[in-house]
Amino acid sequence: MDKESRATLNILDVFAFLIEWRRIWIPATLVCAISMGVYAFLATPVFRSVATVKGVDSESGSLGSLLASKFGGLGSLGGFGGALSQTRGDYYLLILRGRHMSEKVIAEFRLRNEWNVPDAPIEDLIVRLAGQTYFKYDAATNTVLIQVDHKDPATARAICEYYIKELDARNQEVELAKSRQEVKFAATRLEEARAKLWALEDSMSMFQRATGIFNLEEQAKATFQTVAAVQAQRLLALSMYETKRKFFSADNPEVEMARVTLAGIDAAIARLSGPVEEAERDFLLHLDSASEDGKTYLRLFRDIEISQLLMALLTQQFEQAKLNEARDTPTMVVIEPTSLGSKRVAPKRALLVGLGGIVGLVLSLLYTGLISTIRAHRNTGHPGHESYVRLLRSWEK
For 77, how many CA atoms within 13 A lie in the half-sphere containing its CB? Answer: 14
Residues with Cβ within 8 Å of residue 185, at least 6 apart in sequence: none
3-state SS, one letter per residue, for 152-214: CHHHHHHHHHHHHHHHHHHHHHHHHHHHHHHHHHHHHHHHHHHHHHHHHHHHHHHHHHHHCCC
Q: What is the pLDDT of residues 46-104, one digit of tens each?
A: 888 999 998 876 554 444 455 445 544 444 434 434 433 444 778 889 999 999 999 99
Range with the largest mean pLDDT of 73-77, 109-113, 247-251, 255-259: 109-113
Say whether pLDDT at 121 is over 80. yes
| Coil, strand or helix at 332 | strand
Question: Backbone dihedral region of 165: left (phi > 0), alpha (psi from -120 to 50 degrees) or beta?
Answer: alpha
Which phi and psi (to 5°) does residue 130 adopt? Answer: -60, -30
Q: Minimal CA–CA distance to 163: which of 151, 174, 179, 149?
A: 149
Predicted pLDDT of residue 71: 47
Residues 148-168 have a mean pLDDT of 92
Buried b (16+ CB within 10 A) or exposed e, 48-58: bbbbbbbbeeb
Least confident of 143-147, 201-205, 344-348, 358-362: 344-348
Least confident of 14-23, 45-54, 82-91, 255-264: 82-91
- Which spans in 85-152 are helix H? 89-97, 99-108, 111-114, 122-131
Name the least confident of 242-246, 313-317, 370-374.
242-246
Residue 371: what pLDDT?
A: 83
| pLDDT for the residue 158 | 93
pTM, to two decimals: 0.54
pLDDT digit string, tens, across residues 327-342: 666 778 888 888 887 6
Q: How confident is the model at residue 374 (pLDDT cuts 50, 70, 90)?
A: confident
E-assigned strand segments in the chain: 47-55, 133-138, 143-150, 332-336
**In this predicted structure, what is the pLDDT of residue 290?**
52
Contacts of 176 (CB under 8 A, 6+ apart): 324, 325
**Residue bearing the bigger pLDDT, 121 or 83:** 121
pLDDT of residue 61: 47
pLDDT of the residue at 278: 43
Q: Of the ranges 41-45, 69-73, 112-116, which one carries the lowest mean pLDDT score? A: 69-73
Rounded CA gap, 323 and 317, in Å?
A: 10
User: How many CB atoms are closer than 10 A to CB 230?
Assistant: 16
**Measured distance CA(281)–CA(212) in Å, rounded:** 6
Quick one: pLDDT at residue 74? 41
The listed range with the strongest mean pLDDT (18-32, 132-146, 284-298, 382-396) is 132-146
25 burial type by CB count under 10 A (0-12 exposed, 13-18 middle, 19+ buried): buried
Q: What is the mean pLDDT of the chain?
A: 75
Contact 42, 352 (CB under 8 A): no
Give the per-residue pLDDT at 283.
Answer: 46
Of the two residues 347 and 179, the one the predictor is more confident about is 179
DSSP secondary structure string for all residues of 248-268: S-TT-HHHHHHHHHHHHHHHH
More confident site: 392 or 114 = 114
Residue pair 53/144 in contact (Cβ under 8 Å)? The answer is yes
Tell me what percent of the chain is helix, strand and coil, each rounded to the nearest 5. Answer: 70, 10, 20
Position 258 confidence tier, pLDDT thresholds 50, 70, 90: confident
Residue 319 confidence (pLDDT): 81
Percent of the chain clearing pLDDT 70 (strictly above): 68
Which of the two residues, 39 and 155, has the higher pLDDT score? 155
265-318 pLDDT per residue, tens: 777 666 655 554 543 445 444 544 455 666 676 777 777 887 888 888 888 877
How far apart, in whole angstroms, are the C-alpha atoms of residue 235 and residue 233?
A: 5
What pLDDT is recorded for position 165?
92
Burial bucket for residue 245 (CB in 10 Å: 0-12, 13-18, 19+): middle
Lowest mean pLDDT among 92-101, 166-175, 229-238, 309-318: 229-238
